[in-house]
Amino acid sequence: MFEIRDKPKVVEKALLIGAYFDRREKDEAASLLEELHELVGTLGIPVEHAELVMVKDSNRKYLTGKGKAHELIAMAKEKGCDVIIFDNSLAPMQQRAWENEGGVTVIDREEVILDIFAMRARTAEAQLQVELARQQYALPRLARMWDHLDRQGGGGGSGGMGAARGEGESQLETDRRLARRRIDALRRQLVEVRQQRLTQRKERQRVPVPAAAIVGYTNAGKSTLLNTITGASVVAEDKLFATLDPTTRKVQLPDGQQLLLTDTVGFIRNLPHRLVESFKATLEEAALADFLVHVLDASQERVFEFYETTMAVLKELGADDKKMLVVLNKIDLLPADRRNQVAAHFNQPATMVSLKTGEGLPLLQERLSEMMLDRTRRVNLRLPQSEFGLISLIHQQGKILKQDYDGNDVLVDAIIPRRYEAQIERYLDPPVPARALEAWEAAP
Ligand SMILES: Nc1nc2c(ncn2[C@@H]2O[C@H](COP(=O)(O)OP(=O)(O)O)[C@@H](O)[C@H]2O)c(=O)[nH]1
Ligand SMILES: [Mg+2]
């Protein structure tokens, strides 16, 4: 976070500004500003106030008019904000104008998104892709950074580019040259890493527990879903998963099945074109998952459009053929007739929930269990009591529906994950014919 330039490490309070230029854009601008609020929150920056601004006579120097700019800077000062965050794209010159005028850090939507992607990029490819986008974003802003340093009385250099600092202008030229060289190097590395991607996917697929990725737009309720599902279940302490990053949780569903749930980077509306590739790279999780949980804000007017966009991107990632559970969230905000209307739009039954009120939560858990059924199998087993290891494995990883005793044998009716099929095959009741068993064991 905060590496593009010398932004303050700890931001206390942010003022968000969303500018729109036509009265008809107002609702859209308001809802985009709400999304920015969410994005800034993801970075851990507290938002003091969000201001929607109608711009009538745009001034190229500031984007808004000059008077409005002064007004907003005064507002930031009055509210004690140490950073102003624009929901609009600011040209490098405009960013400089605001910073010089206001004496506070000024960030735009693109920079916020870059910081989020940087925070969430896990694979080598995603990290390179995000770094490339950051360098491209920073290049035309190097002058502004020098400006900033000069105001602070120089010092420091521009963030570890390794070149000795000469006099102002020439150092700026050096920085630009180094940045361009870095951009070229990143492009070359990306080509290499992409070639290795397929082998990497195979490695990661060896996770022993089924994994699902939660996808959908920012603000749909993805994180709430992860927290709610985790909160509603007993999570076993497990060393193997203790090291997973905080966006992945191991969940136990009411029927005993276990699942790894990962919260992916949310889709972002009006994603700057330059960030499209980085975004896709950070979504790699989706391509690795066994199935997808697609969360939608059903109260959003454009919910169908969001659905289609998400599906199109998943297709590009080669993840569109995965099984998918569509979750229509926030139904507490929907009138009853609109509920049916929204649900009817999907050709598979969508799960309607309100993660806020808890309505539909049991159904959601049930549907999640159903998604895993092809990873599990119902079996009747006759186990010698000496196989207590196997019995306790079934207890832990599967679900025992019925248990009886017959002499020294334990008879169980159970659901087991398919990956244990080989281990239990010999105890199937009735038994598998001997030749089928030999064929099974001979198989690679
Ligand atoms: N009214 C309502 N709000 C919800 C519901 N679920 C989540 N939210 C709110 O929607 C906002 C975005 O949720 P979040 O889980 O952070 O979305 P994410 O960006 O997809 O991770 C938060 O303010 C949540 O409190 C719901 O069922 N009803
Ligand atoms: Mg979230």
Q: Count how many domains the chain has.
A: 4
Q: Which ligand is nearest to the CA of 116?
A: 2
Q: Is the CB of 42 under 6 A from ligand 1?
A: no
CA 124 to chain centroid: 16
Domain of residue 393: give its range: 374-442
Q: Any idea what the CATH number is for the domain that residue 393 is in?
A: 3.30.70
* Residues 148, 99 contacting (CB under 8 angstroms): yes
- How far is Cα 290 from Cα 210, in angstroms, rounded to an integer? 6
Please indicate, yes or no, if residue 136 is contained in any of the structural domains: yes
Give start and end residues of each alpha helix (H) in 208-275.
222-231, 239-242
Cα dihedral sign, 232-236-240-242: positive
Q: Is the CB of 356 under 6 A from ligand 1?
A: yes
Task: Give the tens place of pLDDT for each residue, 228-241.
Answer: 998 755 444 444 44
**Among the three residues 85, 103, 120, which one is the final residue of a domain in this structure?**
120
**Among the three residues 312, 346, 371, which one is the final residue of a domain in this structure?**
371
Please indicate, yes or no, if residue 9 is contained in any of the structural domains: no
Please indicate, yes or no, if residue 279 is contained in any of the structural domains: yes
* Residues 29, 52 contacting (CB under 8 angstroms): yes
Q: Given the structure tokens 């929901």, which residue do they identify?
A: 87
Q: How far does residue 378's CA lie from ligand 1's centre (Å)?
A: 37
Question: Is residue 418 located within the same domain as residue 271?
Answer: no
Q: Please report, rounded to a whole number, the percentage of residues in the chain having pLDDT higher than 70.
A: 82
Question: Is residue 260 located within the same domain as residue 348?
Answer: yes
Please indicate, yes or no, if residue 196 is contained in any of the structural domains: yes
Q: Is the CB of 38 under 6 A from ligand 1?
A: yes
Cα 31 to Cα 15, 50, 139, 211, 271: the distances in Å are 16, 12, 31, 32, 14
pTM score, whole prediction: 0.75
Closest CA to 130 of 4, 15, 235, 250: 4
pLDDT at 157: 42
Task: Give the tens place of pLDDT for each residue, 109-159.
Answer: 999 999 999 988 888 888 999 999 999 999 888 866 655 555 444 444 444
Closest CA to 314 of 288, 352, 296: 288
Average pLDDT, stretch 41-60? Answer: 90
* Residues 281, 121 contacting (CB under 8 angstroms): yes
What ligand 1 atom has the least distance to the C-alpha of 217? 20
Cα 89 to Cα 85, 317, 439: the distances in Å are 10, 27, 64
What ligand 1 atom has the least distance to the C-alpha of 333? 1
Instruction: State residue 395 phi and psi, 5-degree precision.
Output: -60, -45
